Amino acid sequence: MNNISSAAFTDTKPHYKILDGLRGVAALIVIWYHIYECFPPELHIFGHGYLAVDFFFMLSGFVIGYAYDSRLQTGKLTLKGFFKRRIIRLHPMVILGIVIGAVAFIIQGGVQWDGTKVTTSALMIGMLIAMFMVPAVPGTYPEVRGNGEMFPLNGPTWSLFFEYLANIFYAIFLRRLSTKSLAFFTAASAIGLAAFAIINPTGYGTLGVGWTIADYNFIGGILRVTFPFSAGLLLSRVFEPVKIKGAFWVCTVILAATLYVPFIGEYENPIYNCIWEVFCIALIFPLIVYLGASGNTTDKFSSGICKFLGDISYPLYIVHYPSMYLFYAYIGFPNTFRTPSETWIWQIVLFAGNIILAYAALKLYDEPVRKWLSKK
């Protein structure tokens, strides 16, 4: 653990700097996954990049358990205070992400993917309900892009929706469980997630679910957040550090290698891929969190990297996707007539540009707004 980072501006406890850094690593991988998401699967460079969301959920459970369990139990922090802290931490960037998404939608021509023109009133309603974390129902007026997303102006907001639900569930129920009861609950949720993956009710052959309400996705989203969040919370209670050198770099390699693995097996029979994904979430991710929490950054370079990545991780995750919509339109999605080799310059621009945008959003908007709100 080390000094406070701006990744947790309103918290008073010291943070696990390596875990902050790993969150940033995962966010960078998400960018590359989304850049290549519009290309054929065999061209993806991080075939399981979408599992970074499950890693985020596990980190969230661990950090929230560490930061709030004792304070809520002793009464040093009220439920109202907890919810205020979480809203201040999360919601300013949610709003900014929706605004950026609306601007990108207008730049794209204000049309759905099939070319249907979207009215200004539909866009305004879509913005408004998204800012209040109300999912859009596929095929309805506010579902402006026409591909079924819960939050069509900024797709990744779906995971924040489930993060909010997890925070509410934690405050009302999970935190009150004994460690033994929490272990049983975590095991049961793991079984539920594994069953969902193997049964494959969406037909995707992956756990890349939760982004829409349609096709069992909502159930999948609930399961995707329930197990990793509760597992992270359980880890925070039973955690006893082990000695490990270079924890950040070791964990970075493990995380990147895990998310790099391409689809396993055949798309017509995805059982092996489903098993691999459950293995990642149930075993590899807890190991990474455990090792990351055990380690310390002892040199300035590693400390600086962890702090920078931790600081920009959440803004980067929230602001990067609107530019992906523009990139997908540029390459010809859904038909995709431009190849990765033809667009490599734009890929670099997207990657670097979103890091710059995230840092600007952090310094010029997120930190000042959270500082102001925390005084209210």
Per-residue pLDDT of 46-86, as tens digits, reads 999 999 999 999 999 999 999 999 999 999 999 999 999 99
Residue at 10 is within a domain: yes
Q: Quick one: tokens of 30?
A: 């998400």
Burial of 146 (0-12, 13-18, 19+ CB in 10 A): middle
Model confidence at 184: pLDDT above 50: yes
Burial of 100 (0-12, 13-18, 19+ CB in 10 A): buried
Residue at 1 is within a domain: no
Residue at 156 is within a domain: yes
pLDDT of residue 2: 46
Mean pLDDT calculated for residue range 130-156: 95
Residue 375: band (very low, low, confident or very high) from pLDDT cuts 50, 70, 90: confident
pLDDT of residue 250: 97
pLDDT of residue 10: 39
Q: Name the domain count of the chain.
A: 1
Model confidence at 14: pLDDT above 60: yes
Residue at 323 is within a domain: yes
Residue at 169 is within a domain: yes
Percent of the chain having pLDDT more than 70?
A: 96
Domain of residue 336: give its range.
6-374
Model confidence at 9: pLDDT above 80: no
At a CB cut-off of 8 Å and minimum separation 6, what does 253 contact?
none
Average pLDDT, the chain: 93
Percent of the chain having pLDDT more than 90?
A: 87
Q: Which of 239, 241, 237 is nearest to 182 (CA)?
A: 237
Model confidence at 252: pLDDT above 90: yes
**Number of helical H runs and strand E runs in the chain:** 14, 0
